[in-house]
């Protein structure tokens, strides 16, 4: 990775949006990269909007404030509507499809939809939907090495939840497998 990558991850509070960003940030830090993780969330309640901007860079990050992203991962319709148009042309949009009625329309993006909620329920743990999305994202945009994701997760996840690490790893693999089997849309012209 010789240039910086800026990703926004957005959804409802409780979906693991901020954690996904933390995992990326930790993993990138393990690799010696500069990182910035900037959270933003709505009023003081569960179910409010939440997003975080993560910048991973080989060099110094002067400003964590940006308005155009290389990638976006969205976990609900409002986030998709809001951030689809904030992605740079040729960028990557990954979205969770079970919460979406109106799909994205841009033709100049690599767009991947995944039913992460369904896949997570198959594992009988809806909380790992974010890890499925993270797996899919990293398959398409390998900004950090997969082996560092699990080390990062150990840092982010409180010790009392460490028994779920194998399940999280499984979820990550499901996401990666899904993304590797999905074609980049034929209409996509970077």
Partner 1 sequence: MALRLRTGNQMIAQGAIQAGCRFFAGYPITPATGIFKTMIDELPGEGGVALSAPDEISAVAYCIGASMRGVKAMTATSGPGWALMTESVQYAVMTETPLVIALVQRLGPSTGGATQGAQGDVLLAEFAVSGGYTLPILSPSTAQECFDLTILAFTWSELLRTPVVLLSDKEVGMTAERVDDDLLRNVTSQDRLQWRNRSGGLEFMKPKTYGTYSFDCVQEIPAFTPVGGEMKVTATGSAHNKQGKLQKNSPETLEVLKHLEEKIRWRENDLVKVDADIQNGAKILVMSYGITSRAAKDAVAESRKRGIRVSFLGIQSLFPVPSRTITESLQGVGRVVVAEENLPGLYRSVIERHCNGARVLGVNKIGSLITPNDILNAVQS
Radius of gyration, CA atoms only, the chain: 15
Judge whether 140 and 177 are in contact, CB under 8 Å.
Answer: no
Nearer to partner 1, 43 or 190 (CB): 43
Name the strand (E) or helix (H) holding 121.
helix 116-122
Between 41 and 188, whose beta carbon lies closer to partner 1? Answer: 41
- In the complex, minimum distance from the CB of residue 41 to partner 1, in angstroms, rounded to a whole number: 5
Half-sphere CA count of 135, side-chain side, radius 13 A: 26
Looking only at residues 66 through 125 of this chain, which bind partner 1 when binding is defined by CB under 8 A? 66-67
The region of 61-69, 106-114, 163-171, 175-183 touching partner 1 under the rule CB under 8 A is: 61-69
Which one of 30-38, 115-123, 128-136, 138-146 is the stretch in contact with partner 1 (CB under 8 A)? 30-38
Tokens 């990703």 locate to: 7
29 is an interface residue for partner 1 by CB under 8 A: yes
Please, what is the minimum distance in Å from the beta carbon of residue 20 to partner 1?
13
Which of 46, 63, 101, 102 touches partner 1 (CB under 8 A)? 63
**First CA to last CA across the chain, in angstroms?**
19
Of 123, 96, 122, residue with least CA distance to 111: 96
Strands (E), the chain: 5-12, 34-41, 49-57, 69-74, 87-96, 110-114
Report in angstroms how near the CB of residue 73 gets to partner 1 at its nearest.
18
- Return the number of the residue (55 or 171) whose C-beta is nearest partner 1: 55
Residues within the interface to partner 1 (CB under 8 A):
22, 25-26, 29-30, 32-44, 61-67, 155
């Amino acid at each position: 990775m010789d240039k910086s990558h800026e990703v926004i991850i957005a959804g409802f509070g409780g979906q693991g949006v901020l954690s996904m960003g933390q995992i990326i940030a930790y993993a990138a830090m393990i690799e010696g990269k500069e990182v910035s993780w900037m959270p933003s969330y709505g009023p003081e309640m569960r179910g409010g909007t939440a997003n975080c901007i993560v910048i991973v860079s080989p060099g110094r990050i002067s400003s964590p404030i940006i308005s155009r992203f290389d990638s976006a991962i969205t976990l609900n319709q409002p986030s998709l509507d809001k951030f689809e148009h904030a992605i740079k042309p040729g960028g990557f949009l990954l979205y969770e499809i079970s919460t979406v009625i109106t799909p994205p329309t841009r033709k100049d993006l690599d767009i991947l939809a995944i039913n992460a909620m369904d896949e997570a329920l198959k594992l009988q743990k809806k909380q790992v939907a974010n890890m499925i999305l993270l797996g899919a994202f990293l398959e398409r945009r390998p900004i950090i090495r997969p082996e560092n994701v699990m080390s990062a997760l150990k840092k982010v996840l409180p010790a009392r939840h460490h028994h779920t690490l194998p399940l999280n790893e499984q979820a990550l693999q499901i996401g990666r497998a899904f993304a590797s089997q999905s074609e980049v849309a034929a209409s996509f012209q970077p």
